[in-house]
Structures are given as C-alpha cells and as structure tokens.
Structure 1
Amino acid sequence: MISFAELAVVEDIIRSVNEKAVLPRFRSLNDSDVAMKGPMDPVTVADREAEDLLRERLTAFLPGSVVVGEEAVSEDASVLDALTGSAPVWIVDPIDGTRNFIAGSARFSTLVALAAGGELLASWSYAPVLGRIGTALAGHGAWVDGQPAHVAQIADPSAPTLPITTSHPVWWPHGYGRGVDAMRDAGLDVGYFDACGIEYLDLAAGSRSAMVLTWEYCWDHAAGLLLVAEAGGHVAALDGSPVRLEGGNALPFVASADPGTAERIRGLITASGPAAG
C-alpha cells in the first residue's frame, strides 16, 4: 500500500506540520494555550493544530483513509471504531510527551503509523528538536536517523545489561506495580521514561533491552511497535499474545530486543502480580 518513495513523502508532511504548528510554540506557550483533558493529561493548541493539519494532509495523500488521533478520540471515543473498519487508518499522536513540550524539554515527538485490517504497514517517529527520525515499512526494515535500525544483541537473556525502561509504578495496572521491584530484585537495570516515542527509538537503535508498557493507547504505541518489530525486536502482551491495536490486551506488555528477555520480564511481573498475594 505504501512504497519507499511514499515513506519519504509522509516524512516530509510530518516535518512540515511540525514547522508550522509545533516548533513555533516550543518554549513560547502562554497559559491560555494549555488546557487539561483530565488529571495529569494536558493538551496544547500545538497538539490540536498539528493533529488537524496531519488529518488534512494524510487523508489527501491517501484518499479513502481515515485518522485516529489522540485529540479527536478525547472528544469522541467512537473515533476508535475506525481501527476495526475497512478503510486504511492513520494513527496519530501529534505531540507524544506533551508535558515535556509544555515544560520546554526537547524530549517530545510526533508519532504516525499507517494500518489496515489491524496490521501495521508503516510508521514514523519524529523528534524535531532532538533531530531524530525513525521510520519503518512492514516487511522491509526500520531506520533510525537515516541508518538501518537493529535492536541490541542479547547474548544471555537471563542477565541483560542494557537498561529496561517503564512508567512509574503508580501508573501500573492495579496490583502489578510491585513488578518494578521484582525486576530490580532480579538484577535488571530498570528506569522510568518520560516520552515513550523516544524510548521506542532507543530500543530500535539498540540502546535498550526492553520497555515495559502499562497502558495501550494506540497513538502512543503503534509507530514504535512497528519500528521495534522491523528492527528485529519482539513485542507481546503479558500473557504472551500479540499486542492488538484496538486494545483489550493483557497489561503490562513488553517490547524487547529478543523473545527470551520478554519472557523473563513477563515471568517476573506475573509472579509478583495480584495472584502472588
């Protein structure tokens, strides 16, 4: 459905939207430019304008396609129904890391993925201030910062030495937050992340062993899931099943450099979860 040349065209669209709607507001937001969708869930005028522009330009690029965007879903949850519809779907997070963006941190990105029939076809992860870009084309590989991307080679999954990142335990599913302690007690180097789009870039480029994801909003994960898979990585829900874009996954799920690392992490989390008492 999309070629290498078209992969570059979409990248140009994403870059141009950032130039118009996002970067001019970086470190220049007024109080009136920020609103709260819910507790700890801010949105800015940049998020909304960027999503509107991406919707307009991406659907013009691929007639008949639709967009599932974070901001549109926050206004109307039925937008998610497109994930199981027949039309190609652009899954969009206009600014992943909005809190960082508001704080003036460069650690934010625009995430775009194209899917059809529940399968990911292509993805783009663009961190404009950091100057980083990750792209993936199903069946053809992944690239980070213009170079072929490959996950880390883990010689011994029982003792990975590269960092594992996750969200703070307060964001884990009820009863599973002790999984962070279990991983650390097993000798794993566990840290917390602030922008999952950038963490997916790092995992695909080989500087992480794994990510443990405690929520399943498709706009946060779709681009990174394909990027990691095409870089040779492995993704599975807590029960070992494939991660579904439409949700209903056993959480947390694990994106990792190899199946052995994922299996070890899932085992530690499961053993420390609610059933463990």
Structure 2
Amino acid sequence: MVRRVALQVHLPLFRQGVTGEEKSPGELVSRVDREAERLLINGLADITPGLPVIGEEAASEDPSLLGALRSERPVWLADPLDGTPHFLDGSPDHAIMLALVDRGQTVFAVVHQPQHGRTYMAERGGGTWRDGVRLHREPADPDNLTSLRGGVLRRFLDPDARQAVERNESRFGDLVPRSKCAGVEYPRIIEGQADFMLFWRTLAWDHAPGALLLSEAGGVASRPDGTAYRADDDRVGLLAAADAATAQAVLRGMGLQEG
C-alpha cells in the first residue's frame, strides 16, 4: 500500500515544480503531503478497519488527535512525506513512514524511500528488514568519540542543550547531519553509514517508525535520562545510536547525561 501511494503521488510529482506553503513558522506543507496522507488514511482503513489513523498534517491542525496514543487500542501514525523541504528542493532524501502504536509502544513500522527504492519494515520482536533482507547493526566504538560518525539537529535545541553541545562538540568529529529527515537518518545508522544522531524535537510520527527499526536491528533510541523512546512520550531530546554503550558515551560526551 505504501509503495502504491509512492507510485501515485511521490514519483510522478518529484522535480515537477511542486511548491510548499508554511503551515507554521519554518514548517512546510505541499500538495504531495496532503494527497499522500489522504491515500494512506484510506488504505489503512481498508487494511485495518476501525483503527484510528493520525496523519501528520491532520495532527498539525489539531494536536488533540495525538491523545489517541494514550488510549487502550492500537493507533496508526502516518507521515506522508518526511523531508518535505528535501522533496521540494529535488533531493531524493525523503520518505513515507507508518507506525502502529499499541498503548505507547510501537509494534510495527514501515519506512519507504521512494526515490532510493528502499523499503524498511520492522515488527516488535521480529527484527528489521530491508526489501526482504534482515538487517543487524554491529556496535560502534564508544571509547573513541572522534571516530564516531553522527550529527546533531540543532534547530530545536533549548538554550541549555545548545550550550552543552557547543561546549563539547570539539570532542567529536563532524557533527553535521547529512540530512534533516528521520526517514533517512535512522536507516543510515542501521546500515552502518552513521553511528548516532541527536534529535531534540520528538514528534511521534517522526520517531516512532525509525526508533522501532533501529531497536529491532540492535541499536537504541534513548532519552538523555537513559530511558527508551516511547511514542506517547512528548518530552524533548532523543539520541538514536548504534548500541547502548555508544548512546551513553555520546550523551555523556555532549554533557547531556551525568557520568
């Protein structure tokens, strides 16, 4: 269903002059976001009748919809175009993402990268797969911070976190992420192209899919206090990393965790 949506919307409209508009300061929405969200909601209604679907664009207009994540029945999260600015700029680094959340825990996830032709899927307890190939992330080298490849998405850092990162960034190598798209950054860690990524704003549709993919492949998505990510937890701060030891080393190295 996700691939079909990409064939109907994302692929034919890519690099065809689609423009965006601001839905909030610095946040863009486009025809692709809206059309894809409608098709995803309809498709999920056919596959799992009766389960609520929270689309990013609908929740942006009505944040109260996210209250369903704390209900007693499963709910879908749908991000119809993660990386809208990339899509509008003609970059292939964007994705469609889905997550099925049951009482705060993500139990199933799909991340599809239309232009790269890759589909990642994970089920809780069932591993992470890319187009039928099971993926496993090997541990990084947490004892050598300069050898770790990663980045920090700085836009939403609060003043204390920003000061901590700026004070300690010289302990690491280059902290500039390749993209600002969760649907690209989580798979990069899983595939061994990066070792960590620090996010600060943690909207559920951005992180529920990737966090499950990463954890089922052997990595971790950890809050600064060391707790694992949950889709019903809207606190700021989230480190995606190759393994638990790397996550702890990065958080301590950045001054975001005591130790």
- Do both share a fold (TM > 0.5)? yes
Measured on the aligned residues, the alpha-carbon RMSD in Å equals 1.9
Q: Give the aligned residue type for 2:38.
A: D
Q: Match for residue 18 of structure 1?
A: 6
Q: Give the aligned residue type for 2:188.
A: D
Query: Distance between the aligned counterparts of 1:90 and 1:164, measured in 2?
Result: 29
Larger mean Cα displacement after TM superposition, 35-44 or 239-248: 239-248
With over 3 angstroms needed to count, the CA separation of the structure-2 counterparts of 1:104 and 1:85, relative to structure 1, is same
Query: Distance between the aligned counterparts of 1:127 and 1:152, measured in 2?
Result: 23
Query: Distance between the aligned counterparts of 2:196 and 2:131, measured in 1?
Result: 20
SS in 2 for 1:248: coil
Q: Give the aligned residue type for 1:259.
A: A
Following superposition, the deviation at residue 30 of structure 1 comes to 4.3
Matched, 1:57 2:36: no
Matched, 1:112 2:89: no
Query: Distance between the aligned counterparts of 2:155 and 2:240, measured in 1?
Result: 20
Query: Distance between the aligned counterparts of 2:71 and 2:7, measured in 1?
Result: 32
1:144 to 122, 130, 151: 130
SS in 2 for 1:18: helix
1:200 to 174, 183, 186: 186
Q: Match for residue 220 of structure 1?
A: 206
Runs of at least 5 residues in structure 2 that lack an aligned partner in the other structure: none
Moved over 4 A (4+): none
Q: Match for residue 169 of structure 2?
A: 184
With over 3 angstroms needed to count, the CA separation of the structure-2 counterparts of 1:119 and 1:163, relative to structure 1, is same
Following superposition, the deviation at residue 230 of structure 1 comes to 0.3
Following superposition, the deviation at residue 210 of structure 1 comes to 1.0
1:237-276 paired onto structure 2 within 5 Å = 237-249=223-235, 251-270=236-255
Work out whether residues 165 and 255 of structure 2, in 8 Å CA contact, stay in contact via their aligned partners in 1: no
Matched, 1:130 2:116: yes
SS in 1 for 2:15: coil
Query: Percent of pairs identical after alignment?
Result: 33
Deviations 1:113-169 (A, max 9, x none): 111111111111111111122111110100124321111322x312152411221x3
Following superposition, the deviation at residue 182 of structure 1 comes to 4.4
Query: Distance between the aligned counterparts of 1:224 and 1:111, measured in 2?
Result: 8
Following superposition, the deviation at residue 45 of structure 1 comes to 0.9
Query: Distance between the aligned counterparts of 2:101 and 2:257, measured in 1?
Result: 35
Q: Give the aligned residue type for 2:121.
A: T
Q: Give the aligned residue type for 2:237.
A: P
State the TM-score, normalizing by the size of structure 2: 0.92
State the TM-score, normalizing by the size of structure 1: 0.86
Work out whether residues 217 and 247 of structure 1, in 8 Å CA contact, stay in contact via their aligned partners in 2: no
SS in 1 for 2:162: coil
With over 3 angstroms needed to count, the CA separation of the structure-2 counterparts of 1:145 and 1:203, relative to structure 1, is farther
With over 3 angstroms needed to count, the CA separation of the structure-2 counterparts of 1:236 and 1:91, relative to structure 1, is same
Q: Match for residue 216 of structure 2?
A: 230
With over 3 angstroms needed to count, the CA separation of the structure-2 counterparts of 1:189 and 1:152, relative to structure 1, is farther
Work out whether residues 220 and 228 of structure 2, in 8 Å CA contact, stay in contact via their aligned partners in 1: no
